[in-house]
Structure 1
C-alpha cells in the first residue's frame, strides 16, 4: 500500500536508519521502506570511491532485464549520473533524461524491463563528504515531479547522515582495536617476554656453572627452547603492533624479515599509495607468509614481488624450500594459509598457492582498492 504521507515515510526511514548498525542491511531496509511508501517502483545504490569507481551495493525490486546475471548491466559501463557525480556537477535530486545502463539492458533483450526506461538520481552525502548515488525508477515514467524529487532528496540526506555515522563508528572501533592491540603488546613485552629472557640468562649461567655433562646438556636444551619461545613471542608482539608501518609498507616488511632471520629480496613495480586498511592487510599477509617460510620451508631466504596498478595490487611471496602437496579435496592445508585467505577476502581479494615437493612455494595475493 502506497498511502503513507511523506512525513510518515521520512519518520519510519529515520527510525530504521537510527536502529541499524550494519551498512548494507541499513541501506537495503531504508530503500525497501521508501519504495513501499511512494510511487517509485525500483531503486539501487552505488558507492563511488575517491578514484571514481562505482560499486553497486544495494538494489530493490529491479525488473528482470536489470537483474539479469547479477545486475550485470547496472554494474558495468558508464552513465550520465555517475559521470556528473565524478565531475562534482550533481548537487541535488535530478531527472535522468537517458541512462546508458538501462538502455543497454533493454537493447540486450535479456528480459522484461517492465516499463522502466528512466530514473531519478541524488547524491548520498553528509556535509561536504560524498559517498555515492541513490537511483530510483517508476514504470512508464520519464520525468518525476518536483515534489517527488524533494522527497528523494530528503531520504538521501537521511541515508548520507546514517552512512557517515556508521563510518565514524567503524573508525572508533578500529581505534579501540589498535589501542587494545597496543595494550596486549605492552603486557606481553613487559611480562612474558621479560620472563622468557630471564630464563634464557638463567640457563646460560647454569651451563657455565655446572660441570656435569648431563646437566649442561639439559640447560642447553632449556636455553634453546626458551630462545625459540622468545622469538615466537617477539613475532606475536609484532603481529599485535606492527612497528615500522609509519616508515612505509616495504620498510616494515624488511624489518620483520630481519627479525625472523630471513634474507629477503624485494621487487616493486608501481607507486605504493594504498588506503590504510589495504596496507595493513598486505602487511599482515606478508607476516604470516614469512612466518610459514621460517617454520616450514627449510630455507631462510624469500622473495617478494609487488605490482601496483590503478585499481589493484598483486603480491607474490616466493621461497625455494621443501614445498608441500596441494590436495584439492582439502580446503586449506594449514591454519596459517587459511588466515591469509581470510584476510585477502575481507577486503574483496583472493589468495592462491602454487607448491611442489622440493620446488618451493609461491603465494599469490590479489587485492582491489
Structure 2
C-alpha cells in the first residue's frame, strides 16, 4: 500500500510503498477514506514536535482519520466489516496515551490499524472528509470549551486565533450558547470567517485599544473565558488583560515559549485562572458524532480542499504558507 512516511531523524517526508498491515488481537484494519492535515503534522516535520514513544525512526503521519472497517483481528467481533468509522486520535496502553501518527503509524495511508475500542461508528449522512477532522480539529476545541473551559450559556468568551481550531471553536461556542463571542486574529480573512461562523465581533490583536474594545462589546465587562487557539506567547498576556474577575484563560494552542503574566498582583486579586488543555477524551468524539447526526452543527465549510495522498508534501507546504487561508486540507488515498 501507499503511505506518507516521516523520518523523524532527517525530518524527510516521502510517499512510498510499504506492506499492508495485518490486524493483530484486539485490532481492526480500516481502509482509509480521508485523513486531515494538521499543524501538528507540520510541527512533526519541522522538528518542533517529536514523538515520545515511537519505536524506530519512521512513522506514517495522520491522526485525523475516517474510513471503512476492512478486516478484524483475532478476537474482535465489532465493529463489523464495512462499517463506516472514524478513529480516535490515540489509544491508551498501560496507562499511557499514545498518539496516532506520532507514536505509531497513522492514517496518511491506504490502510490503518486501530485498537477496536478506539473506532467510532459514524452515520451514512456524515461525509468521510468531515468525519476525518472530528478527532482533533473539532474535538480538541469541543473538549476545551465543554470540559476544561466549562463554558456556560450567556457567558462572554474570546477566541484568539481563528484558524482550524479557532474557527471550530467559534461554531461550538455558538452551539454552547456563549454570548457574546469575540474573535481576535491578525488576518482580515480569518476575522471575516469568524464572523461568518458565528462570532459577534472580530478584532485585530494589533489594536492598542483591544482590551477596551472587548469590554465595550460586552457592556463594559471583561470576558468570562478566553481561549488561546494560536499558541502564541503574546496572545496569552493580551487575553489575560481582557478577562473579568474570576475569568479563566484556556491554553489550547501549543508553544514552547514561557507563560508570563506581567501584573501578577491583579491576576491574584481578581482570582483569575490559567488552565492548560490538550486533545480530547473518547466521550467528546461520541458527543460530536451525535450532534452532527442530529443536525445541530455542520462542518462542510471546514473542508478547504481534498488532495490525493501522493500530494501529501504539497498539502503540508500549502498549510505552512497558509495558501488559500485553509481551515482543513484533507488527503484522500
* TM-score (normalised: structure 2): 0.26
- What TM-score does the superposition give when structure 1 sets the normalisation length? 0.24
Question: Higher helix proportion, which one?
Answer: 1
- Rg larger in structure: 1
Greater strand fraction, Structure 1 or Structure 2: 2
